[in-house]
Structure 1
Amino acid sequence: MLSEQQGQLLVRLARQTIEHHLGKTPASPVSEKELAQPALREPRGVFVTLHKRRDLRGCIGSLAAVEPIVDGVRRNAINAAFHDFRFNPVIVDELAQLDVEVSVLTEPTPLEYERAEDLLRLLQPGRDGVILEGPGQARATFLPQVWQQLPTVEPFLGHLCRKAGLPETAWRSGKLTLSTYRVQSFAESR
Structure 2
Amino acid sequence: MPALPSVNLTEPEKRQLLALARSTLVDSFGSDPAAKLPLTSHHKLPTSHSKLPDEAVIELKLGCFVTLTLDGELKGCMGCIEGERTLANSIPDLATSSAFYDSRFSPLRQPQLSRVSIEISLLSPLTPLNVRSQAQLEEYLAQDHYGVVLKEDGLRAVFLPQVWEHFSGPKTFIDALKVKGGWPENYWSDKIEVELFKVIHFSENR
Fold in common (TM above 0.5): yes
TM-score by length of 2: 0.83
Q: Which segment is superposed worse, 59-68 or 117-126?
A: 117-126
Task: After TM superposition, list the pairs within 5 Å mapping 1:56-135 onto structure 2.
Answer: 56-123=74-141, 127-135=145-153
Report sequence identity in percent: 31
- Distance in 2 between the 1:144 and 1:9 partners? 23
Q: Deviations over 1:43-78 (max 9, x none)?
A: 111110011232211110111111111221111001
Shift of 1:33: 5.1
Task: After TM superposition, list the pairs within 5 Å mapping 1:10-89 onto structure 2.
Answer: 10-27=17-34, 28-30=44-46, 34-89=52-107
Gaps of 5+ in 2: 1-7, 35-43
- Distance in 2 between the 1:113 and 1:45 partners? 24
* Native 8 Å contact 2:13 2:54 kept in 1: no
- Distance in 1 between the 2:168 and 2:71 partners? 21
* Native 8 Å contact 1:45 1:66 kept in 2: yes
* Native 8 Å contact 1:116 1:174 kept in 2: no
Choose from 9, 12, 16 the match for 1:9.
Answer: 16
- Distance in 1 between the 2:55 and 2:13 partners? 9
Larger Rg: 2
Residue 156 of structure 2 is aligned to residue 139 of structure 1? yes
Q: Deviations over 1:66-99 (max 9, x none)?
A: 1111221111001111111111111112112211
**Which residue in the other structure is 1:160 paired with?**
177
* Native 8 Å contact 1:129 1:144 kept in 2: yes
* Native 8 Å contact 1:101 1:187 kept in 2: yes
Residue 169 of structure 2 is aligned to residue 169 of structure 1? no
TM-score by length of 1: 0.90
Shift of 1:144: 0.8
**Which residue in the other structure is 2:196 paired with?**
180
- Distance in 1 between the 2:31 and 2:157 partners? 34
Gaps of 5+ in 1: none
* Native 8 Å contact 1:100 1:187 kept in 2: yes
* Native 8 Å contact 1:53 1:97 kept in 2: yes
Aligned residues: 188
- Distance in 2 between the 1:154 and 1:146 partners? 13
- Distance in 2 between the 1:186 and 1:133 partners? 27
- Distance in 2 between the 1:180 and 1:11 partners? 25
Q: Deviations over 1:5-33 (max 9, x none)?
A: 21121112111111111224335222695
